[in-house]
Amino acid sequence: MNWVYILRCGDGSLYTGWTNDLPRRLAAHQSGKGGKYTRSHLPVALAYREALATPEEARKREWALKQLSRREKLALIAAGAPGEQGAAPEETAPAAGDAAGREMP
């Protein structure tokens, strides 16, 4: 199984990635051994995940998610992945951003 995911970082920013082992990758991000961005934005929490059949589909979906605005990503998180219930309340709480709701770097 391949996964595309969105993490909510400690400063409220959002990080999008893909993996074929979600528990391992999430643990790496949480321990500071994940992506360069998340290392400096700890702690991180899983806000959204979506299962895909192939690595190619996961990479394409990751790219598509990265094209979304912060507002669109938050709406996606609130709705939950296809076939899943909506995100937990703590996953949809307002996050840091500027007054226009743009994602903070």
Q: What is the pLDDT of residue 16?
A: 97
For the chain, which residues make up each domain, given as ranges?
2-88
Q: What is the pLDDT of residue 86?
A: 46
The residues that bridge with 80 in the sheet, in sequence order, are: none
User: Does residue 69 or residue 86 have the better pLDDT?
Assistant: 69
Q: Which CATH architecture has domain 2-88?
A: 3-Layer(aba) Sandwich (3.40)
Mean pLDDT of all residues in the chain?
A: 84
Residue 12 backbone zone (phi > 0: left; psi -120 to 50: alpha; other: beta)? left
User: Does residue 97 or residue 36 have the better pLDDT?
Assistant: 36
The two three-digit tokens of residue 85, written as one number: 């219930």
pLDDT of 93 over the 80 cut: no
- Count other C-beta atoms under 10 Å from residue 96's C-beta: 13
pLDDT > 90 in the chain, percent:
73
Question: pLDDT digit string (tens) for 29-72?
Answer: 999 998 899 999 999 999 999 999 999 999 999 999 999 999 99
For residue 96, what pLDDT band results from cuts at 50, 70 and 90?
very low
